Amino acid sequence: MANEIARSLRKQMTPQEVKLWIHLRSWRTKGYHFRRQTPLDGYILDFLCFKHRLVVEIDGGQHNFEMHAQRDAKRDDHFAGQGYRILRFWNHEVDQNLEGVLHVIDEALCPTRPAPAKGRGRPPSPTGRD
């Protein structure tokens, strides 16, 4: 059942998902293999890089509603508990700042960098939403 839903979602991707997918798919040459609309543990993830345990979600306005936000938090907690990092971006971020979105994803895929010296700067937002 989940595979059928995922297959249907792949055929009906939002314009923002398509825009991001074009770039993520091209990153295979960099060694990053993303899957789109992937069923996992009863959820369907927008984009998933198994090797780097990274989930990328593109959210529309419906995710502002309390019920959606609660489901998103439960889902994020589930995957974070399994060692996945979750990045969430709004549709308008993909439309208006695609390069910035791609930069955040690329940074999340890079090997861990040394932490900044104590008291200097703040760590980047794990959700990509500063």
The topology under which CATH files domain 2-109 is Endonuclease; Chain A (3.40.960)
> What would you report as the CA-atom Rg of the chain, rounded to the nearest whole angstrom?
15
Question: So where are the chain's domains?
Answer: 2-109
Decide if 102 contacts 23 (C-beta within 8 A): yes
What is the rounded distance in angstroms from the CA atom of residue 116 to the CA atom of residue 125? 14
pLDDT tens digit string along 31-60? 999 999 999 999 999 999 999 999 999 988
Q: Please tell me the distance from the alpha carbon of residue 98 to that of residue 12, in angstroms, as a whole number.
A: 20
Segment (H or E) for 67? helix 66-80
The pTM (predicted TM-score) of the whole model is 0.75
Neighbours of 120 (CB within 10 A): 7
